[in-house]
């Protein structure tokens, strides 16, 4: 793809009202209390147990949170990798899309929590409680969940590659569409007639025996309905950090703004939902953790741009130049990337579920742990190997290949 000529251009950003909170919109005072002292945090929670605290997008990497009361806390997109959460109370917490890699969650209670699309890769969760927890589309690769309780949990489409579920309780769990369960360890795990297998059928004693699991028969129960909670309006709002109060953030939601944009512009943590950036020259721009749902960026020059953990659901990036761009953990579900240049881009752990990649060039791109489920490819799509897309590659990655000759 021919790079777009470098020039500064005036953009009119027509932005529609969004109900989605930005990743930086957390309660700073509450976060400071949690980081300083779990005891002080728990005392605050116990005096006001019904209050909802918003820590969406909070950075808690490596934090020591043993025994913390995080029940019903909003932790969407929070960063908890390497943290210690042994015996923590996370009942009913919203951890949707949270990054919880290599964390310690021994004997923690996540009953009824929302962990949809959460990344738990390599976490130690021995004897943790996940009863009724929604883990749909979560990444549990290499997790240790021995003797954990997943009764009634939703593990639909969850990645279980080499997950250790020995002795775990999977009675009534929904494993429909779960990936790599053949590589998971199920020795001594308990499975019942109410457990739903990856095939969508109910578990049997034969299937259990084949996987060295124990089969038990219990009363027939109706399928459990799992709801994805919306971020609740926080009860505690003092000293709340918002994009407009941060020096690096820009909140352009629900107003028209004239913005002069050139290379190396920073939109970190910005709200750019529905923004019109068609044909813009944004090479090397910083969109780290920006909200860009349904943004229009057809033909934009994003060469070398930082889109680390950007939320680009439904965005139009068709024919855009994303060569050498950083898209680590970017959410690109249902995004239009047809004809886009992704050569050399980093798509590590990016979510491309349902994305349109017809005619896209991914030559040399890093797609390790990227999710291509339901993505659309065509014979003109170039794979990281430099070869054209094939039906076998599409099938292996849960995508689909449209057999067309022209685009």
The predicted-structure confidence for 245-295, as pLDDT tens digits, reads as follows 333 444 444 333 334 444 447 888 888 999 999 999 999 999 998 889 999
Distance from C-alpha of 320 to C-alpha of 375, rounded to nearest angstrom: 18
Does the structure show a pLDDT above 60 at 244?
A: no
The mean pLDDT of the chain is: 85
**What is the pLDDT averaged over residues 286-312?**
93
Q: What is the pLDDT of residues 17-68, one digit of tens each?
A: 232 333 344 678 899 999 999 999 999 999 988 888 999 989 999 999 999 9
pLDDT attached to residue 26: 65
Distance from C-alpha of 29 to C-alpha of 245, rounded to nearest angstrom: 14
pLDDT attached to residue 318: 97
Does the structure show a pLDDT above 80 at 296?
A: yes
CA angle 108, 113, 118 (to 5 degrees): 90
Does the structure show a pLDDT above 60 at 240?
A: no
- Between 62 and 6, name the one with better pLDDT: 62
Q: Quick one: tokens of 201?
A: 């059928």
- Between 287 and 8, name the one with better pLDDT: 287
pLDDT attached to residue 268: 87
Q: What is the pLDDT of residues 113-148, one digit of tens each?
A: 999 999 999 999 999 999 999 999 999 999 999 999
**What is the pLDDT averaged over residues 321-350?**
94
pTM of the model: 0.68
Per-domain residue ranges of the chain: 8-22+243-407
- Say if residues 296 and 318 touch (Cβ distance below 8 Å): no
Q: What is the pLDDT of residues 140-177, one digit of tens each?
A: 999 999 999 999 999 999 999 999 999 999 999 999 99
Return the H-helix or E-strand segment holding 261. Answer: strand 256-261
Q: Quick one: tokens of 296?
A: 């229009």
pLDDT attached to residue 48: 86
Q: What is the pLDDT of residues 342-397, one digit of tens each?
A: 999 999 989 999 999 999 999 999 998 899 989 999 999 999 999 999 999 999 89
Distance from C-alpha of 193 to C-alpha of 161, rounded to nearest angstrom: 24
Distance from C-alpha of 336 to C-alpha of 338, rounded to nearest angstrom: 6
Distance from C-alpha of 73 to C-alpha of 66, rounded to nearest angstrom: 16
Q: Looking at residue 249, what DSSP letter applies? A: -
pLDDT attached to residue 37: 95
pLDDT attached to residue 224: 73
C-alpha atoms less than 13 angstroms from C-alpha of 66 in its C-beta half-sphere: 4
List % helix, strand, coil for the chain (3-state, nearest 5).
Answer: 10, 20, 70
| Options 3.30.450.20, 2.160.20.80, 1.20.140.10, 2.40.50.140; CATH of 8-22+243-407 | 2.160.20.80
Distance from C-alpha of 84 to C-alpha of 66, rounded to nearest angstrom: 6
pLDDT attached to residue 228: 66
Distance from C-alpha of 295 to C-alpha of 282, rounded to nearest angstrom: 14
pLDDT attached to residue 303: 95
If pLDDT is split at 50, 70 and 90, which confidence band does 230 have?
low
Provide the phi-psi class of 364: left if phi over 0, else alpha when psi is between -120 and 50, else beta.
left
Listed range (67-71, 91-95, 261-265, 301-305) with the worst mean pLDDT: 261-265
Backbone angles phi, psi at 392, to 5 degrees: -70, -40
């Amino acid at each position: 793809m021919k790079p777009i000529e470098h020039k500064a251009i005036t953009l009119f950003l027509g932005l529609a009202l969004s109900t989605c909170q930005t990743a930086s919109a957390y309660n700073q005072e509450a976060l400071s209390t949690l980081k300083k002292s779990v005891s002080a945090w728990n005392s605050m929670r116990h005096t006001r147990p019904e209050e909802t605290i918003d820590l969406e997008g909070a950075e808690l990497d490596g934090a020591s949170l043993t025994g913390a009361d995080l029940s019903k806390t909003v932790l969407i997109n929070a960063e908890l990798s390497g943290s210690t959460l042994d015996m923590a109370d996370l009942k009913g917490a919203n951890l949707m899309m949270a990054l919880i890699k290599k964390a310690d969650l021994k004997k923690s209670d996540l009953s009824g929590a929302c962990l949809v699309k959460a990344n738990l890769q390599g976490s130690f969760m021995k004897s943790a409680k996940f009863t009724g927890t929604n883990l749909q589309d979560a990444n549990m690769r290499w997790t240790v969940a021995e003797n954990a309780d997943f009764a009634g949990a939703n593990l639909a489409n969850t990645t279980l590659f080499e997950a250790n579920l020995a002795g775990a309780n999977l009675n009534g769990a929904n494993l429909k569409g779960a990936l790599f369960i053949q590589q998971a360890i199920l020795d001594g795990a308990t499975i019942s007639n109410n457990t739903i297998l990856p095939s969508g059928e109910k578990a049997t004693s034969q299937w259990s025996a084949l996987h060295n699991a124990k089969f038990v028969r219990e009363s027939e129960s109706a399928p459990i309905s799992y709801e994805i909670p919306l971020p609740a309006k926080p009860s505690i709002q003092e000293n709340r950090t918002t994009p407009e109060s941060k020096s690096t953030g820009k909140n352009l939601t629900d107003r028209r703004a004239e913005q002069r944009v050139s290379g190396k512009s920073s939109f970190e943590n910005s709200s750019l939902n529905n923004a019109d950036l068609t044909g813009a020259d944004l090479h090397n721009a910083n969109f780290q953790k920006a909200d860009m749902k349904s943004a229009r960026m057809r033909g934009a020059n994003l060469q070398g741009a930082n889109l680390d953990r950007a939320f680009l659901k439904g965005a139009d990036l068709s024919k855009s130049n994303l060569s050498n761009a950083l898209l680590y953990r970017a959410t690109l579900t249902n995004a239009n990337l047809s004809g886009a240049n992704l050569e050399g881009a980093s798509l590590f752990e990016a979510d491309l579920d349902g994305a349109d990649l017809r005619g896209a060039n991914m030559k040399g791109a890093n797609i390790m742990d990227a999710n291509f489920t339901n993505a659309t490819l065509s014979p003109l799509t170039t794979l990281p190997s430099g070869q054209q897309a094939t039906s076998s590659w599409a099938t292996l990655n849960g995508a689909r290949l449209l057999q067309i000759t022209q685009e």
